Structures are given as C-alpha cells and as structure tokens.
Amino acid sequence: MTTLKNKVGWLLIIIINVIPVIIWLSSGPAFFLNPGYKTLLISLGQLTAIIGIMFLAIAIILSGRFKVLENIFGDISNIQIAHEILGGVGTLLLLGHPLFLALDRGSSSLMKGVLFMLPRNDLAPNLGIAALILLLLLVFLTYFVKLRYNIWKYTHQFLGIVLVLGLFHMVFAPSNVYEIKVFIAIWSFIGIAVYLYRTILSPVLVQTSIYIVKSVTIINDGIVEVKMEPKNKPLHFLPGQFVFISFKCNGIPLEVHPFSITSDPQDKMLSLDIKSLGDYTAHISALQPGSEAKIEGPFGRFLEENSDHQIWIAGGIGIAPFLSKLNSLRYQRLSIDLYYVVHTQEEAVHVNDLLDVAKNNPHFRVRLYDSSKEGHLTAEIVQTMSGNLKNKHIYICGPPAMEKDLKKHFQDLKIPSKYLHTNRI
C-alpha cells in the first residue's frame, strides 16, 4: 500500500510540473520558431527557470510535515526523499537558467555575457541576480562546508527567500505567456505560505504537545532512555511512529530532532531511546528530570501493515520503533522473527524485555546477531533461518547503509518492494 501511494504522489508531482511545460511548448518557444544555437540557449534558459522554480516550490511544500501528504505518499520517509530530489534538481536547474542566458549574450560578445550577470538599473534582473547569489551561497555551505546540524538547518531555511526572489523576478520579467506566470505564482505562493508556516509562524500555528521529563537513564555507553509524562493531554500514536522533539534544559541545545517512540501506545508515559551520534545527542545525558519537552507528531507508518507473518531486522538503535509494539505481542499471535544486529552483544538494549515476550509467545522469535563474530547479516542468512519469505512483510530499521544493502539483497531474492519497509527519519 505504501509503495502504491508513493507512486501516486510522484504521479501528482509529474502532472503538476508538466502543465507549465505544456503551456510553454504551446506558446511557441524561440527554438521551435527559429532553430539555432542562440534560440536553443534562450529556450533552455526559459525551460530550466520554469521547472526549477516549480521544483523548489513543491520541495518546500513537502517540508511542511502535513498529514495529508503522508496519505498521498504513504509515509513521511517517501516525502523526505521526494523533498531532497526536487530540492537538489530544482537548485541545479535554477543555476542553469542564468548560465544559458549568459551564454546566449556571450555568443556575440564576451563582455555582454559578463555584464548580463551583474546588477543594473532594472528590477527584474536584479531580483534574479540576488536569488542566484543566495542560491550559490547555500550550495557552497551545503556541499563544501561541514556545518553543525542546527546551523545547516538554519541556512537551509533561506531556500524560502530564494523562492520569494525567484517569484518576483519572474513576475517583473517581460513575458507574453501570462498563463505560465499565473500557474507558477500560485504554487510559489503556496510554497511561501508553507515556508512562513514552518519558520516565522511555527510557534503559533504548529500544533505541539508538552511533556515533562520524569527520568533519564543511561542504558549503556551510547544510549540514554528518556521517559516523560504529558503536561495535559497525552499523545496518541501507533507502534513504529516517531516524533519531532525539543528539550528546554540548560546544557541542551534548543533544537528539534526526530526520535522513534519506544513506549507502548497504551502507556501514559512516553519514552525514547536516544543514541549519541552527533553534536546534539551527545548532550542528552545532561537532560534533567523536570525539563519541558515540546513534541510535534506523531509521524510515520512503519509497522502499519499488520500481516500475520513478519520479519523484523533492527540494527543498533534501530530496535527503537519495534519496542513500541513489544507489549502487544504478549496477547497478539503474529508470527515474527526479530534479527537484532549489534557490533557486540554489550551494545544490545532491552534484551531481557525481548526475551521475556519471546518466552511467553512462541510465535515471536528473537535472534541476537553479533556482527563482530558472525559478519554482516544478509538476506540469504535471513532466508536460511526463517525459511520461505514469500508474502512475509520485512521491516528494516538501522543505519542507512544497512537498510539500503539489505533492501537490495531482498529484491535480488525476488521479494516485491511492497513487502519491504524501511524507517527513514
């Protein structure tokens, strides 16, 4: 179901972007009317601008974390992938727009090509040049400078300003095809509205839940368990979902990060297992009971398919989303093989809880897989140990490289994509 919905989401994206291209083609591009090197450059400059600004607008819309988009794409991880693809390709196309037009001017005179890229006494090109400079700066900071996550996220928000500048550049630029301007303006305004919703208006408009930290427990050298209780109404969630959370506590950066929920949906307390993987998570052990947590969510549809036969594969902290469904397995009789992959057995967490459920439910089988002794877990090993994988839903949560490799290996075994689920947050 998730795979089908993702295809529907991409189909809608394609249709939305094809419409202005069809309008542009029907208007008679310069190259169609008078084929040649110069008209080809002009036409490419126009086409990259049309698709580039549309891609950027839709990429920003996809970043809004709207539940309706989850219904269309099937899962927030699919939305994130689409956001990254459209944002990256849209950026390249927008960079190509002035380049093609500068090459057109430069074909007759190098000086004309240089002057085209410089500010002048004309609002439309100056807006475009400002958007170009900001876009180049963001590309440089993203791909050539190693920024802390919170700084990168802050700079990433300036893509909204690029969209604003690009929109007004298009509005004031001379053109006889007003239908394209209207169509792009509508989607750009939606993108700008989402940008404002997520930045300036976020504290007022974005719905959040307030929780109070009750305990902070260091499970092992790298993982901290945080338990919280609701200040008002508790959050309603399903097993496998995650939340975006920020903590208000001295010594903890006031940043928003996603974490999988590990507690049972029936519990009033909300718990997270947080592994020290970067600058932010390294501070979590300093979190104090009584601190306030602001939570947005829940999100995600991992573990949504409630099939009778399942394979769970968890790599390290990837065990987290599976834990939220653990208590229900005490009375549900789903046939589940869990492969818990760790570098060493000391890294494994909540093993006693897993084994306790397995002891009382013969349909739930736990395999603690020590990769330092047994090597990488492969799809072939899973097939050998679990038997026939036909019609079994396979859930994989772990490091991105592990998820990618295992998914490919299962596909090589002719497992259809609709039976393969990953938890990308």
Q: What is the pLDDT tens value at each position of the chain, 425 positions in all?
A: 566 777 899 999 999 999 999 999 999 888 888 899 999 999 999 999 999 999 999 999 999 999 899 889 988 888 999 999 999 999 999 999 999 999 999 988 889 889 889 999 999 999 999 999 999 999 999 888 888 877 888 888 899 999 999 999 999 998 878 899 999 999 999 999 999 999 999 999 999 999 999 999 988 878 999 999 999 999 999 999 999 999 999 988 888 999 999 999 999 999 999 998 777 888 888 899 999 999 999 999 898 776 889 999 999 999 999 999 988 887 777 899 999 999 888 888 999 999 999 998 889 999 999 998 999 999 999 999 999 898 899 999 999 899 999 999 999 999 998 899 988 77
Residues 312 and 376: their CA atoms lie apart, in Å, by: 16
Tokens of 216: 């902070």
179 by DSSP, 3-state: which? helix
Strands (E), 257-392: 257-260, 270-275, 292-299, 309-315, 335-342, 364-370
Residue 244 and residue 256 in contact, taking contact as beta carbons nearer than 8 Å: yes
What average pLDDT does the structure give for the chain?
91
Tokens of 51: 């698709």
Tokens of 17: 């972007």
**Distances from the Cα of 283 to the Cα of 166, 274, 399, angstroms:** 39, 10, 21
Residues 217 and 213: their CA atoms lie apart, in Å, by: 11
Q: What kind and span of H or E run contains 217? A: strand 209-218
Tokens of 132: 């170009």
Nearest to 389 by CA among 348, 337, 322: 337
Per-residue DSSP letters for 369-424? EEHHHH----HHHHHHHH---TT-EEEEES-HHHHHHHHHHHHHTT--GGGEEE--
**Distances from the Cα of 355 to the Cα of 29, 175, 341, 360, angstroms:** 68, 69, 15, 9
Q: Facing residues of 272 across strands?
A: 226, 261
Residues 270 and 226: their CA atoms lie apart, in Å, by: 8
Residue 277 and residue 309 in contact, taking contact as beta carbons nearer than 8 Å: no
Residues 43 and 47: their CA atoms lie apart, in Å, by: 6
Nearest to 169 by CA among 120, 132, 127: 127
Residues 312 and 365: their CA atoms lie apart, in Å, by: 10
Q: What is the pLDDT of residue 241?
A: 94
Residues 298 and 280: their CA atoms lie apart, in Å, by: 21
Give tens-digit pLDDT for 377-404. 999 999 999 998 988 999 999 998 999 9
Residue 298 and residue 258 in contact, taking contact as beta carbons nearer than 8 Å: no
Q: Are strands 292-299 and 242-248 parallel, antiparallel or unpaired?
A: antiparallel
Residue 84 and residue 400 in contact, taking contact as beta carbons nearer than 8 Å: no
Q: What is the pLDDT of residue 308?
A: 84
Q: What is the pLDDT of residue 2?
A: 64
Sign of CA dihedral 173, 179, 180, 183: positive
The burial class, CB within 10 Å (0-12 / 13-18 / 19+), for 306 is exposed
* Neighbour order of strands in the sheet with 242-248: 257-260, 242-248, 292-299, 209-218, 223-230, 270-275
Give tens-digit pLDDT for 245-265. 999 999 888 889 999 999 999
Q: What is the pLDDT of residue 163?
A: 96
Q: What is the pTM of this model?
A: 0.90
